[in-house]
Structure 1
Amino acid sequence: MTGRLRPPTGRYGGKTATERQIERRGRFLDAALQLFGDAPGYRGTTVASLSEAAALSTRQFYEEFRTLEDVLAALHLQVNDWAEEAVLAAFAEATDLPLAERVTAIFRAYAGNVTGDPRRIRITFVEIVGVSPRLEEQRLARRARWVELICAEATAAASRGEAAPRDYRLAATAFIGSVNGLLHDWSAGWVEATLDEAVDELVRQLLGILRPAGWSPAAPE
């Protein structure tokens, strides 16, 4: 299959072709979240089984996607977008809080979003890994966005005298690895802790990066 089939145009059942396409795509992604994120997983799913789970035809699948890898790519971006939206909303609400409270609010929002549905954890940290060079590039690109977010917040905190001034890129990259690893292991039952305890540990790690031993916040003028 070299390309998608062309979907029908015009209004049908009170919906435009665009509205029907959005609905179909959403149904395929919902079905993929269930099959890829639970059983049988991405590698055990076929176009036929995904179409059946979405209550759509394989022809309709090829009107929306070329391959199952395209579905996984779209789903991975969607799951990350949900988490990013939760984090940005927490950022906006926590703007005026002290650094420690601000960081805690942000990480509670992130952790609550990605662990609220175990299927999202599996899509983000398991199913996407090692599928193809294209998806590895996408996975690392989304990770880089999280690194940039942390660097931006750390730099802003340093400019306010709340954190040590430094280049945070390397530390932020290492920290994101800690976040992904701990939340994955927690969701898999390999870590005996509550979610709040896991988040508190991550917050302590980040504050240790932002405020290393021997450094003190600037005194208010």
Structure 2
Amino acid sequence: MATTTKPAGRRYRGRTPEQLRGERRQRLLDAGLALFGERGYANAPIELICSTGSVATRHFYEQFDGREALLRAVFDELVAATGTVLATALKNPDRDLHERVSDAIGQAVLYLLNDPRRARVMCMESVGVSREMESHRREAIHNLASIIRDYSQHLAEAGELPQRDYHFPAVALVGVVNELITEWLVEDTGLDAGGLAREAVLIFRAVIIGTKRYSTDWPPVG
């Protein structure tokens, strides 16, 4: 009995429709990073994004509901990459636990500053866009802070820190690093990327020293 096979999907220059969509999406993400990170979100209309990414407008809307959806996708890629940098440094078996946390913070800052477009999208262009984007950004901050919080708890279990919930210090540290990066982007700080990364690590170490030295009881009793 003869058998029939399902015909292959139409191809364009050897690529399937799914591959073409994936390539268009990546070009739009690259264009979004370039334009949002250089011109700013407000100055990057969809038409310019499409022309920069060599993607037709109709194909843009196959991928994203609008410009904010593209910003969110670019932001999510940067958050995921930053999380990977943090996690990789924290799992380094050649460094002790305290050194791993310092390395993670410094390397995450370097990842963003080595391409200032990443830093600008993460720390500036994603802020205040809409209520939905702000909620999404806050969730990302908490996710990054949770990585620091978990390893602070490991430090506490190792006797390096007092036993307590490190959620708020971790959120505060993410906020401090965000402001340091913003300052570096908009002001002439006189620091290169490595210099600012060292500042971020020093602040983390100051928090560790302060937590070790001072009581959390406030106001003072008596």
TM-score, with structure 2 as normaliser: 0.85
In the aligned structure 2, how far is the partner of 1:96 from the partner of 1:204? 19
The equivalent of 1:27 in structure 2 is 27
CA contact (8 A) 2:89 2:103 kept: yes
Number of equivalent positions: 205
The CA RMSD over aligned residues, in Å, is 2.0
Structure 1: which 5+ residue stretches go unaligned? 1-8, 216-221
The equivalent of 2:109 in structure 1 is 111
- Alignment partner of 2:160 out of 159, 162, 168: 162
In the aligned structure 2, how far is the partner of 1:71 from the partner of 1:205? 38
Worse overlay, 184-193 or 153-162: 184-193
The equivalent of 2:47 in structure 1 is 48
In the aligned structure 2, how far is the partner of 1:195 from the partner of 1:180? 11
In the aligned structure 2, how far is the partner of 1:73 from the partner of 1:14? 31
- Deviations along 1:139-186, whole A, 9 cap, x unmatched? 000000012111111111111212111111122222221111112212
In the aligned structure 2, how far is the partner of 1:189 from the partner of 1:205? 24
- Deviations along 1:56-99, whole A, 9 cap, x unmatched? 21111111111001100100101111111111111121x45334
- Deviations along 1:101-143, whole A, 9 cap, x unmatched? 2222112211111111111111011111111111001100000
The equivalent of 1:218 in structure 2 is none
CA contact (8 A) 2:50 2:60 kept: yes
The equivalent of 1:208 in structure 2 is 209
In the aligned structure 1, how far is the partner of 2:173 from the partner of 2:115? 23
In the aligned structure 1, how far is the partner of 2:214 from the partner of 2:98? 16
- Corresponding residue SS for 1:166: coil
- Corresponding residue SS for 2:95: coil
The residue type equivalent to 1:13 in the other structure is R
In the aligned structure 2, how far is the partner of 1:164 from the partner of 1:82? 31
CA contact (8 A) 1:125 1:180 kept: yes
- Alignment partner of 1:102 out of 100, 103, 123: 100
Q: Kindly, what percent of the aligned residue pairs are identical?
A: 29
The residue type equivalent to 2:44 in the other structure is T
- Corresponding residue SS for 1:14: coil
The equivalent of 1:124 in structure 2 is 122
In the aligned structure 1, how far is the partner of 2:156 from the partner of 2:104? 17
TM-score, with structure 1 as normaliser: 0.85
In the aligned structure 2, how far is the partner of 1:33 from the partner of 1:100? 34
In the aligned structure 2, how far is the partner of 1:205 from the partner of 1:15? 54
